[in-house]
Every structure is written in structure tokens, then in C-alpha cells.
Structure 1
């Protein structure tokens, strides 16, 4: 099928946006989230350029970890908790806005060495880790939020997660339909590189279709002035430069939620081949996923460059049972700080990606809104 070209094609070379000169009266650290954008279509490489098999530490199976939690979990030590606690208390005492937190005002002189190595493992290794024993009950929401965002600053720059500017997200039961998968749940993760290898063995035609820029993703109505309500892109694409790695972008909910546009003739509807490819991709991910049940005090960090993740449906029980509450960060790592070299115009901006609607200011609510 021929993709619609209703959006203005992005081309390289490109000027950087004004993120680096964002007004501090709106953005406390002077950096604005770049937002959702289509790729640079002239930098997307054809299927023939993709590897037939990916090797290395980014390729892993659930069987490699399911019975070996010591390979992917890190219980916080007493010294680590104490250092994080001291940094959080100091930040709170200084009265700074949470949206302005950084490594400078959240110093972790000892634990930062471990976080540096973990960051490298997230970017270039298996791509995930589960911390255990974060004292959220003792600290309460406010201090826990400060400590969580403080840790995040050592891994990347926090970006806005929605059109309201939330840089600290919350997944919490608010008495709504608990079967909605976008409301939270237990965690399934899978190596997208292992999925790629599996598709190449079992369904190479699907792998090829997923590298074509014929897939539309819903912006969910979170658009700045002049933007389309969707983004046309690929599901798998290569980094720019030589020996580019395979990057994956997939969200079945926001691929299938575009009927209001296709019914109006603004974009093509999913073809039978695309529907089949989407189903096979999801089945392959589910078949090879590692399942995690997050407990109180757990922190899961993962890279969305080469790890696909989903939250399963959940059910909260009435009081006095505890109500599940997850805090969420989206963190960005630009090219010049070790991030993947992506075919997008904002690839080297500090807060690339995320969701930014016009000049909506960042906010970090301490609880669900």
C-alpha cells in the first residue's frame, strides 16, 4: 500500500529546535522536551540494509533470566539508601521545584559510580534492571518522588509524558475500569533484538513489512499548533551512521486507535498484511517475554531502544488491601552522551522525544491527578 504524505516530509540537514534556549521562567532547567516527530524519511534505510541476525548482549531470552534474578536485580544497600536519603532531604530543605532537579543539586558521590555502569548496561547491554528495597513507605510520596527523580537524573534527562507537561507520571487505581491495560499492571519485557531474530527465522516477510515507513501512530490528541494527529514511521529502523543497530518502536494500542482518521480518508487503514504483521509481532513478543511482578519498593529501569515492554491488566482489591501506585519517568539520552543515533531531527537534543504541546510547562505532581 502507498502511505499518505499529508505531513511535511522531514529532511536533513536540520536545525536544532529551541530546546537549548527555552525560557527558565517556564522550563526550570532551560531545556524543553522536543516532543513527538516523524522520522527523517531520507535517513530511513531499506530492509536490505538490516542484519539477518543480531548478536551481542542486547539479545537475550527470558530463559536466561527467569530463574536467575541475581543477574537483573539490585537490592539497595543500607549505605546506598542513606546516601539517596541525604540527597533527597537536602533538596527538600532547599525548597527547589522538583522540575528543576539535576545531578548537580542531587549529589550521589558514591552511588553515582554504580549508576554510571548501570547506565551503560541499559544503553548497550541487556537494557533493564530491577532495584529492590526503596523505602517508599517510610519516606512517603514527597520524598520518594524526589529520590526517584534524583536517581533518574543520573540516567538521562526527564521528558514530558503527556500534553499536560507531566514529567513525573503516576499509574494508580482511581476506581476506574481495572481491565484497561494502559492503566498499569504487572510488567512484561522482551528483547526486541531477540524478537527481530525470531521474525527473521519464522516470518521474514513480517520483518520486512515492519521496516517500511507505512505505520501510523496516534498522537492521542496531544498536538502542538499545526501538527497532524498522527505520525508516520517504521516499527523497526536502523541507527544512522555505519553499523547501525536496530531500533524498535511499537505501541499496538496507538496503532489501532486511528480509525477516526482512516474513516475520514486522511490516512490509509491497516491493510490485511499489516494486521497480520501486527498480530504476529505481538504474539512473538508475548511468547518470549520476561514477566515481572513489581513489589512495594521496586524500581524498574529499562531502555526502550531495544527492550519492548507492556503492563498487563490488574485488579485492585477493596480496603484494607493496599492500593497499587507506580511512579513513572521517561528519560532521554542524546547522541553526544551515549544515546542511540536515531534518524530523527532531535536525535542530539538533551530532551529528545517525549510529548510536548506548544510551550506547556513541565510539572511533577506528587500524586495522580
Structure 2
């Protein structure tokens, strides 16, 4: 039987989890990645309650930046590189594992002000930046990973990116079959990635090695996409705001959890209890691969198949994102940080250099920015946790491999 769309709704007021009790021998900092959760359905609102237009710095157009790279790129200067290098060397000598990096043991007094400003811009502004001049070839993978993760601690908390507990991810073609979308994570292939948002507040990508061809990045303001659809295709936007979309979890589930999550693509922030009249911003959560991969459940009648309206909405959303997107190329030593709240990103298909040249390789971070530290009020039960989101399978230990595995 197809599950009802309003069954088992939570009852307000909600008891948000604080993730207080975790095994210290597995999670040394006492904080566990919360993992994936369905939304709190009674906090979702109908389409007519959504704003007719979004305004502000989160709404941007590609032409605002295409010819003005200085508005979205930052080149590390010699002093900043030296500070990263010295702090990374001290950390390496300390013997602390990579999973133990924090602002407390990775001081960056020279860069801290810049990173504080950047964090605010990622959360509340345009939502993206491209750093250049990170000396990855000089430092090698281990030191680069340490410096990169140390940088990341000033933007958020590391959360696990897969069922193996990777808090340092590696975007690299491992020869897996991209057509097996119900089993394979696309970042482990060379296939095109359609516009999507990762399961964290902020995503970082450090380019360690480039492809021979392709593997280039496109990003788009989901708020600009929202406004465009509101004008051009309000029927599609309405479909995208409805909690009728099932997302695959591809087996990365803890004991007793369902293999899929029913949610929306666009929805509003949760109300602010301290200020009920405060703005509720539009949040986007999307990845078409996770929607298309559910035939094993819909064929058996466990969940409904995509309707004609959903199939059209899926295509219109992708086409609109592509039409409005900003294209960028990551060179070796570039770091791209993006908001997953209001920016969608994609990647072109790519081809690697022949062996023995290194394959295209990006180090990835998923970072959490909880409510208590200025993060968005998300309509999920873990919104107030420090390491909200991510993928956590049972008590899998966080690890930070220095290369893909």
C-alpha cells in the first residue's frame, strides 16, 4: 500500500534532538553526525503561503559575476599561506587525528576575520566563493588535507558524507557504474552531476588534480530559480513545494530507518519561537539522482511513482538552473565553498588523463552551521544539533581518509 501523505505527523511543540548521549570512544568530541531525517510535516506550508518574490543578496544572476571574477574569487596572499602552513605543521606534529581538528587546536588569527565574513556571506549573502592559491602540489595530500580541514572549522562542523563515516570526502572516478543509481554515489564516477544540493549547510571542494576534459562546475541561486519559476511556471513551482517527493537513501541507513524520505524540494524555514513574525526564508533540498533511483520501491507499490507533473517539474527545474547558471572552472589549488541552503550546483561529465597521470581529484567537506551559531531554522528535528544533516549509519566512527577508498 502507498503510504498516506499525512500519516504519522509529529505533534507540536516539537522536541528537537540535542544529540546529548554519544559514545566518547567513537566520537571523541562528543558530537555525532545527526544524519538524514524527514521534515517535520506540520511545519511545511502550502504554496499560497510562500513568498511571491524573494529579494535580497541571495538572489543573484550569472551576469552579475561572469565578467567580474573579483567579486567571487579570493587569492590567498603569502602571509595567509604561511599561516596555514605553520599551523598545519604544528597540528601534524601534535599527533591528533584529522577528525580531531577544531578551531581550538587550529588557530588562524590572521585569517579568522576573513573567514567570519565569508561564513556570513555563504549563509546570508550570495552563497559562494572560489579561493585560489592553495599550494596543494607543494604540500601534498596529507598537509593539504590538514590545512583545508582547519580552514573549514571556521565555517562549520564536519559531518559524515557517507555510510563509511568519511568527514573528508574524495570526489574521484573509482570505476563504478553510474547507471546503477540505486546503489552508486555519483561522486565516485565520472558521470555528469545534475543540479543538486548536498546534505549539509555548506559544501567545500578542494581541487587536487584536474581532468583531461570536463568536470567543470555550474552554480545557480535557487532563489533566482524560484523567482523565475514563479513568473514562468507557477504550476511547476507549486509541485516543487509539495511534500510528495521521495528521496532514496541508497542503503545508507541505520537500523530501523526507512530506505527513503518523503520531503519537498522548496520549503520555508521553521518559525522563530522568539520572534514568530520573523522572515521564513525559502530553503531548497534537491538531487534528481536520488529521486530517479526509487523504481525498486515504486514498482512494488511501496511508494508512488513519479507523476507526469513531477516528471515535468524535474526537467523544468534542471533546464531553468542550467539557463540561469554561472560557470566556473576549478584549477589545481582552488577551493570552492557553496551554501546548500540557497545555491544549487552541478558538474559536467569528465574524462581523465591516461595513466600514470593522476585522476581528477577533489577533496570534499560537508559542514554544518546549526541554529545556535547563526544557521538557518530548518524544519527538521535535528535543526539545533551542531552536526545536523550528513549521513550517519548507526555509530559508524568518523574517519578522514587522505585519498578515495
Q: Which runs of 5+ in 2 are unaligned?
A: 178-188, 195-213, 272-277
CA distance in 2, matches of 1:87, 1:30: 24
Distance apart, 1:311 and its partner CA: 1.7
User: Could you tell me whether the CA contact under 8 Å between 2:268 and 2:282 is conserved in 1?
Assistant: yes
User: Could you tell me whether the CA contact under 8 Å between 2:16 and 2:383 is conserved in 1?
Assistant: no
Please state if 1:144 is matched with 2:179: no
User: Could you tell me whether the CA contact under 8 Å between 1:47 and 1:208 is conserved in 2?
Assistant: yes
Distance apart, 1:15 and its partner CA: 3.3
Q: Name 1:190's counterpart in structure 2.
A: 220
CA distance in 2, matches of 1:140, 1:12: 51
Residue among 293, 317, 330 paired with 2:329: 293
Taking structure 1 as reference, are residues 221 and 55 closer, same or farther at Cα in structure 2, changes over 3 Å only?
same
Taking structure 1 as reference, are residues 355 and 7 closer, same or farther at Cα in structure 2, changes over 3 Å only?
farther
Deviations 1:277-335 (A, max 9, x none): 11101100011111111100000001000000112211112145442210000000001
CA distance in 1, matches of 2:366, 2:50: 28
Q: Name 2:88's counterpart in structure 1.
A: 88
Q: Name 2:307's counterpart in structure 1.
A: 271
Taking structure 1 as reference, are residues 11 and 142 closer, same or farther at Cα in structure 2, changes over 3 Å only?
farther
Please state if 1:209 is matched with 2:220: no
The alignment's TM-score, normalised by the length of structure 1, stands at 0.96
User: Could you tell me whether the CA contact under 8 Å between 1:7 and 1:228 is conserved in 2?
Assistant: no
CA distance in 2, matches of 1:6, 1:265: 18
CA distance in 2, matches of 1:4, 1:223: 22
Distance apart, 1:85 and its partner CA: 0.9
The alignment's TM-score, normalised by the length of structure 2, stands at 0.88
Q: Name 1:219's counterpart in structure 2.
A: 249
Q: Which runs of 5+ in 1 are unaligned?
A: none
CA distance in 1, matches of 2:138, 2:270: 46
Q: Name 2:118's counterpart in structure 1.
A: 118
User: Could you tell me whether the CA contact under 8 Å between 1:12 and 1:345 is conserved in 2?
Assistant: no
Q: Name 2:200's counterpart in structure 1.
A: none
Q: Which moved more, 1:166-175 or 1:328-337?
A: 166-175
CA distance in 2, matches of 1:355, 1:342: 17
User: Could you tell me whether the CA contact under 8 Å between 1:45 and 1:237 is conserved in 2?
Assistant: yes
Q: Name 2:380's counterpart in structure 1.
A: 344
